[in-house]
Amino acid sequence: MQRNGKNYCQHIAMHQMDYHQLLKDCLKQKPESQRMLYEHFAPQMLGVCFRYTKSVSDAEEVLQEGFVKVFIRLKQFKKEGELGGWIRKIMVNTALNYLKTNQKYRYELSFDEMPLHPVSTENPEVILQTKELAELIRQLPTGFQTVFNLHAVEGYKHVEIASMLGISEGTSRSQYARARILLIEWIEKFSIKEKNGRYGNK
Amino acid sequence: MAVMETNNFEKNVQESMDGFKIPPSDSVWNNVEKKIAKKKKDKRMILIFFFLILFLLSGGFWLFNSIKNNTKFQNNQLSNVLKKESKTTNNNDSYLDKAIISSGNTTQKENSANVSKEKIKSLSTIINNKKGVSVINSKLANKSAKRAISDKNRIVSPFQNEILSNKKSIENENNTVNPNNLAEKNSVHGNVKEKNANPDSGIIARNKMNADTSLKNKGGKLITIENSPVKKISNKMQKRKWTFGITFSGGTSIIGEEPLGMNNTVYPYALSALGPGLVNNPGYSPSKIKGSAAFIGGIFIEKNISARSKISLGISYKYYSLLNEVGSRIDSNFASYLGFYSPTNNVKTYRNNFHYLEIPISIKFQLFKSKTLPVYWDAGINISQLISSNALQFTSNPGLYYNDNSLFNKTQIGLQTGFSIILFSSTKNPVNIGPYFIYNASKLANEGLYDKKHFSFVGIRTEILFEKK
């Protein structure tokens, strides 16, 4: 389920970028190539960072830190892998570190042990814009938001999330279940609102 | 648009999020560019620092070895020449005896003079070449000098009167007879020949004596065995050698915005840090940072650059520590990982350790000419690199200490000075001891708890030299 960044490479092909040449030039620390690489991936990566934080400025801070790491560690990137996926991993890890170190998030990021909740079996039909969905994810408490992003969006397993966040697998599962229920609830409310609004407009 | 069904919830969320893009503001790239440039610079500085250490160490090692080898080589060369010389002297003695017997053979006389001349030239060249580098093997020199004296006695005896009468004039000739003057002398003595019944032998003998005298005189007055000028030369040469030593300084580290811990104000923006909407809450302020134990240990090499000054360079490990009051460690999954400390609960003293690698270079000046207890003043510069630290930073809202070494300026330039007296100066291992002061001209950090602060060190320094005598 884990994403591999294939799409990003396809994007590169679409833009007729010489991916290997660009990588070589970035390794030679050519500023124009670094800028090209940044410009290509930055919007997508800001989307990733946005989901983990509570504001665009925080997301930009994570993005900035993440790209510094990308350029410094670029020689560690194995060419047979997908660059987009690799950059995304760095962004996710940078975002997690940011949550741990930034005082704004530190206290919100609690992972108290909770009993396991059954996964919702409701089947609501919801229609939602991408941006709206991202906004709703960001409304979740930081702990829920992080686990939800890692599991539902990035595709990490609960064992992996547990080791990444220093929590137990059970905690990860319960946090995810709670997040899921909350999110579905909100999506439902949101889509009803949207629906009413649309009817109202008519 | 994404239609979401619970069964495919994760899949739908993932697909929906795939195309989610937000264009970042321009400032992000500018900051990225700046940070990359800074990291590149830091990396370069570290590389330069390590290459400098490598260069200094290898250079010092090479210099030390080359001096050692040179001394050996020169000594060998000198002993060979002296051996050769003693052989030639013996040959010349027999030749000289013949000359004395045959009396009046001009060619032989000239040859003898030439032999002596060459002899002097070769020795004086070698000895002159050794200036400042090698130590003359005094035993060999003494041996040769003794032989020369015995030769002299043997030669002089038949013509004692004449030679004795000329002896004073020889001695008056500065004790050093320039080999180039020998020809002149020969011609002078040639004139004597006419007056003397047996002049040639006397001249030859005297020339030989002159030659031997000059030989010893030229090379360092070897003929004066008791005064041992050879020893003087060797001492002088030794003074120019690199000497290896170890150093240890113990004392206290001091922190402040000015030298000697002056103006050690508390974290300026902690006092004014207000939480959002908490206008009446002044926020937490950190405890005062106090200086604590510090020490420096390392190795160095030093060399005389003049009669009363030395240059010294080395490599040292430097440890500074600072104390402040912190609360108990917060144990939560994240906090324990990062080392957060609350400043209010169970206040205890925390030691902030700083580990540096330092390259000091300094010049020492002898203040008084005392031979028994020489006093030196030294001043210099050092460059040091922070290797590691457990120092805590502070955030006023919510009021926590935490680790963040990225805030420190890793490379520090410092100035040092001190006084020292030399104990046991006549032994192989003289000990320099005295007060020592370092001031780090570079700021410890440009932000955070240590913003604008500088380290100072005050302590006692001990240096032990390992001289080769």
Q: In whole numbers, what is the pLDDT of chain A averaged over residues?
A: 77
Chain B residue numbers touching A91 (CB-CB < 8 A) = none
- State in Å, rounded, how far the first CA of chain A is from the last one: 41
- Which chain B residue's Cα is nearest to A120? B6
Residue A41 lies in a domain: yes
Q: Do A47 and B402 touch (CB under 8 A)?
A: no
Least confident of B75-79, B293-297, B431-435: B75-79
Q: Do B22 and A103 touch (CB under 8 A)?
A: no
SS3 A11: helix
What number of helices (H) and strands (E) belong to chain B?
A: 10, 11
- Contact yes or no for A91/A60 (Cβ under 8 A): no
Q: Do A38 and B395 touch (CB under 8 A)?
A: no
Can you tell me the distance from the alpha carbon of B151 to that of B148, in angstroms, rounded to the nearest whole number? 5
Chain A residue numbers touching B16 (CB-CB < 8 A) = 128, 130, 133
Chain A residue numbers touching B274 (CB-CB < 8 A) = none
| Residue B345 confidence (pLDDT) | 59
Q: Do A43 and B16 touch (CB under 8 A)?
A: no
Residues A102, A51: one domain? Answer: yes
Instruction: Measure B359 CA to nearest chain A CA, in Å.
Output: 28
Q: How many other β-carbons are positioned within 10 Å of the β-carbon of residue B347?
A: 13
Q: Do A67 and B398 touch (CB under 8 A)?
A: no
Residue A37 lies in a domain: yes
Residues B204, B111: one domain? Answer: yes
Residues A146, A70: one domain? Answer: no
Residues B460, B322: one domain? Answer: yes
Can you tell me the distance from the alpha carbon of B433 to that of B418, in angstroms, rounded to the nearest whole number? 10
Residues B440, B295: one domain? Answer: yes
Which two structure tokens, joined as six digits, stand for A82?
């997908």
| Residue A127 confidence (pLDDT) | 53
Residue B42 lies in a domain: no
Q: Do B23 and A46 touch (CB under 8 A)?
A: yes
Please name the residues between 168 and 187 in chain A that touch chain B, using a CB distance below 8 Å.
180, 184, 187
Task: Provide the pLDDT confidence category of residue B420 given band limits of 50, 70 and 90.
Answer: very high
Give the tens place of pLDDT for each residue, B323-350: 988 877 765 544 443 455 666 556 788 8
Instruction: Measure B41 CA to nearest chain A CA, in Å.
Output: 12
| Residue A193 confidence (pLDDT) | 62
Query: Any idea of the CA torsion for A8, A9, A12, A17, to the nearest 10 degrees?
Result: 150
Can you tell me the distance from the alpha carbon of A118 to that of A111, in angstroms, rounded to the nearest whole number? 18
Can you tell me the distance from the alpha carbon of B314 to that of B319, in angstroms, rounded to the nearest whole number? 16
Can you tell me the distance from the alpha carbon of A110 to that of A107, in angstroms, rounded to the nearest whole number? 6
The whole-number average pLDDT for the span A136-156 is 88
Can you tell me the distance from the alpha carbon of A150 to that of A152, in angstroms, rounded to the nearest whole number? 6
Phi-psi region of B38 (alpha: psi -120 to 50; beta: other; left: phi over 0): alpha
Identity at B43, one-letter amino acid code: K
Nearest to B14 among A128, A153, A167 (CB): A153
What number of helices (H) and strands (E) belong to chain A?
A: 10, 1
Closest CA to A84 of A161, A164, A19: A19
Q: Is the pLDDT of residue A165 over 70?
A: yes
Residue B258 lies in a domain: yes
Residue B449 lies in a domain: yes
Burial of residue A135, with CB atoms counted within 10 A of its CB: 0-12 exposed, 13-18 middle, 19 or more buried: middle
Q: In whole numbers, what is the pLDDT of chain B averaged over residues?
A: 68
Residue B173 lies in a domain: yes
Residues B304, B155: one domain? Answer: no
Residues B224, B346: one domain? Answer: no
Residue B257 lies in a domain: yes
Residue A24 lies in a domain: yes
- Which chain B residue's Cα is nearest to A2? B14
Q: Is the pLDDT of residue B373 over 60?
A: yes
Residues A24, A97: one domain? Answer: yes
Residue B34 lies in a domain: no
Residue A57 lies in a domain: yes
Residue A121 lies in a domain: no
Q: Is the pLDDT of residue B314 over 90?
A: yes
Can you tell me the distance from the alpha carbon of A4 to that of B307, in angstroms, rounded to the nearest whole number? 73
Q: Is the pLDDT of residue B2 over 90?
A: no
Q: Do B20 and A166 touch (CB under 8 A)?
A: no
Residue B344 lies in a domain: yes
Can you tell me the distance from the alpha carbon of B369 to that of B395, in angstroms, rounded to the nearest whole number? 56
Residues B222, B359: one domain? Answer: no
The pTM assigned to this predicted structure is 0.43
Can you tell me the distance from the alpha carbon of B307 to that of B369, in angstroms, rounded to the nearest whole number? 10
Q: Is the pLDDT of residue B77 over 50?
A: yes
| Total number of domains in chain A | 2
Task: Provide the pLDDT confidence category of residue B170 given band limits of 50, 70 and 90.
Answer: very low
Residue B278 lies in a domain: no
**Cα angle A58, A59, A61; round to 5:** 65
**Cα angle A28, A30, A32; round to 5:** 150
DSSP A118: P
Residues A68, A136: one domain? Answer: no
Interface residue A152 vs chain B (CB under 8 A): yes
Identity at B148, one-letter amino acid code: A
Q: Is the pLDDT of residue A189 over 60?
A: yes
Give the tens place of pLDDT for each residue, B140-163: 445 544 554 444 444 444 444 444
| Residue A195 confidence (pLDDT) | 56
Residues B456, B310: one domain? Answer: yes
Residue A123 lies in a domain: no
Nearest to A100 among B334, B397, B398 (CB): B334
| Residue B458 confidence (pLDDT) | 93
| Total number of domains in chain B | 2
Residues B456, B366: one domain? Answer: yes
Domain limits for position B157: 66-236
Residue found under tokens 């040469």? B237
Q: Do B40 and A29 touch (CB under 8 A)?
A: yes
The residue among B1, B18, B32, B341 with the most chain A CBs within 10 A of its CB, best to mutate, is B32
Chain B residue numbers touching A39 (CB-CB < 8 A) = 29
Q: Do B334 and A152 touch (CB under 8 A)?
A: no
Residues A55, A88: one domain? Answer: yes
Q: Do A130 and B398 touch (CB under 8 A)?
A: no
| Residue B301 confidence (pLDDT) | 93
Chain B residues with CB under 8 Å of a chain A CB are 1-7, 9-10, 13-14, 16-25, 27-29, 31-33, 35-36, 39-40, 332-335, 337-338, 395, 397-398, 400, 402, 404
B118 versus A53: which is more confidently predicted? A53
Nearest to A63 among B17, B24, B395 (CB): B24
Q: Which residues contact B235 (CB under 8 A, 6 or more apart)?
A: none
Q: What is the CATH number of the domain that holds A142?
A: 1.10.10.10
Closest CA to B384 of B45, B54, B40: B45
Can you tell me the distance from the alpha carbon of A89 to that of A76, in angstroms, rounded to the nearest whole number? 13
Q: Do A123 and B6 touch (CB under 8 A)?
A: yes
Chain A residue numbers touching B7 (CB-CB < 8 A) = 123
Task: Provide the pLDDT confidence category of residue B283 given band limits of 50, 70 and 90.
Answer: low
Q: What is the CATH number of the domain that holds A89?
A: 1.10.1740.10
Interface residue A200 vs chain B (CB under 8 A): no
Domain limits for position A162: 130-201
Q: Do B20 and A122 touch (CB under 8 A)?
A: no
Q: What is the CATH number of the domain that holds B347?
A: 2.40.160.20
Nearest to A153 among B13, B29, B39 (CB): B13
Residues A95, A180: one domain? Answer: no
Q: Is the pLDDT of residue B22 over 80?
A: yes
Interface residue A107 vs chain B (CB under 8 A): yes
Residues A14, A65: one domain? Answer: yes
The ipTM value here is 0.76
Instruction: Measure B330 CA to nearest chain A CA, in Å.
Output: 12
Interface residue A121 vs chain B (CB under 8 A): yes
Residues B189, B294: one domain? Answer: no
Q: Do A123 and B402 touch (CB under 8 A)?
A: no
Residues B218, B260: one domain? Answer: no
Residues B218, B246: one domain? Answer: no
Domain boundary among the residues A45, A74, A106 is at A106
CA–chain centroid gap for B326, Å, is 43
Residues A92, A134: one domain? Answer: no
- Contact yes or no for B391/B339 (Cβ under 8 A): no
CA–chain centroid gap for A156, Å, is 11
Can you tell me the distance from the alpha carbon of B180 to that of B170, in angstroms, rounded to the nearest whole number? 15
Q: Do B13 and A1 touch (CB under 8 A)?
A: no
Instruction: Measure A54 CA to nearest chain B CA, in Å.
Output: 14
Residue A33 lies in a domain: yes
CB pairs A-B closer than 8 Å: 126
Chain A residue numbers touching B19 (CB-CB < 8 A) = 130
Can you tell me the distance from the alpha carbon of B240 to that of B367, in angstroms, rounded to the nearest whole number? 19
Q: Do A42 and B4 touch (CB under 8 A)?
A: no
Residues B447, B371: one domain? Answer: yes
Instruction: Measure A60 CA to nearest chain B CA, in Å.
Output: 7
